[in-house]
């Protein structure tokens, strides 16, 4: 497949699937499982069009894919634990256990988050990113995909600074995880764990899904909000740096192995 064709199919895939994401933000007609099934079917259809197997995206039904999902989830959860630990010292709020926490609600939320994260990863870090990488290279593809991801969030009401900085950093991180293991499940694990653990440990005001958090007895000041964003984005940026180094080393090792043979 030539580079122009690969890039064109990436854009076509986004043109077909992104409206499903946009529609899902404004309507409850399709539940997360239904949206996931639809985008998965479209992904497999595009791969069939390419005459390539699902394993190029880590979508083949092998046990190792569950392992990649689990390891990604552990990595994403660890990331939020680090964020929470730093915020403990930065924010002037007492961290307390939430008495209204319900384990059942948290587990149901986990299933929802897994389906929603898989849906987004298939659209933005699956086929489209992989084909863009083949056409224009890793970092141009990463940046373009991240900007599209941020733009869609802005169009659906996210503050521009959160979308441009936080959402873009998240997209870069999930994309690097995908690139390192060539596995959408690994990226889904990181994405889902980040969203779920955030609600479990950082939500204020707390919900029935919040086990522990900074239970403030007053409204957050602009300085509190700024400090929290600096911590969040700073840890996410460092995670991107770590993953970028891992990707670079892995690709260099692959190149050395190929040259040796």
Count structural domains, the chain: 1
Distance CA 245, CA 260 (A): 22
Inter-residue contact 197 to 73 (CB < 8 Å): no
Mean pLDDT, residues 182-205 taken together: 93
Residue with tokens 């293991």: 181
Contacts of 139 (CB under 8 A, 6+ apart): none
Which tens digit of pLDDT belongs to each residue from 133-182? 999 999 999 999 998 888 887 777 777 777 788 889 999 999 999 999 99
Bridge partners for 95 per DSSP = 214
35 has a pLDDT exceeding 90: no
Q: Is the pLDDT of residue 191 over 60?
A: yes
d(CA 170, CA 147): 11
Residue 94: its pLDDT value, please?
83
Check residue 205 and give its pLDDT. Answer: 81
The residue with tokens 């039904």 is 61
Nearest one of 11, 229, 219, 231 to 127, comparing CA atoms: 11
Query: What is the pLDDT averaged over residues 117-142?
Result: 94
What whole-number distance in Å separates Cα of residue 151 and Cα of residue 68?
Answer: 29
Give the structural domain span for 210.
Answer: 3-260
Q: Is the pLDDT confidence value at 247 over 90?
A: yes
Q: How far apart are CA 11 and CA 128, in angstroms?
A: 7
The pLDDT value recorded for residue 23 is 65
Output b/e per residue, 219-230; b: 16+ Cβ within 10 A. Answer: eeeeebeebbee
Q: Give Cβ neighbours of residue 232 (< 8 Å, ≥ 6 apart).
A: 83, 166
Percent of the chain exceeding pLDDT 70 equals 96
């Amino acid at each position: 497949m030539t580079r122009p064709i690969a890039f064109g199919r990436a854009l076509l895939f986004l043109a077909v699937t992104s409206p499903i994401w946009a529609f899902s933000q404004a309507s409850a007609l399709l539940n997360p499982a239904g949206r996931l099934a639809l985008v998965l079917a479209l992904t497999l259809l595009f791969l069939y069009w390419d005459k390539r197997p699902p394993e190029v995206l880590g979508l083949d039904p092998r046990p190792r894919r569950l392992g990649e999902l689990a390891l990604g989830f552990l990595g994403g959860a660890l990331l939020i634990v680090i964020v929470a630990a730093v915020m403990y010292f930065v924010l002037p709020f007492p961290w307390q256990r939430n008495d209204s926490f319900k384990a059942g609600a948290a587990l149901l939320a986990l299933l929802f988050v897994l389906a929603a994260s898989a849906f987004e990863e298939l659209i933005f870090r699956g086929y489209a990113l992989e084909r863009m990488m083949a056409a224009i290279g890793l970092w141009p593809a990463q940046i373009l995909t991240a900007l599209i991801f941020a733009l869609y969030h802005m169009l659906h009401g996210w503050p521009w600074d959160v979308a441009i900085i936080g959402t873009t950093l998240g997209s870069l991180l999930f994309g690097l995880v995908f690139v390192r293991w060539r596995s959408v499940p690994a990226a889904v694990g990181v994405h889902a764990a980040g969203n779920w653990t955030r609600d479990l440990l950082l939500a204020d005001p707390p919900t029935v899904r919040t086990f522990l958090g900074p239970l403030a007895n007053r409204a957050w000041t602009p300085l509190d909000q700024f400090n929290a964003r600096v911590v969040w984005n700073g840890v996410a940026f460092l995670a991107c740096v770590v993953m970028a180094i891992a990707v670079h080393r892995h690709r260099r090792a692959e190149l050395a192995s190929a040259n040796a043979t």
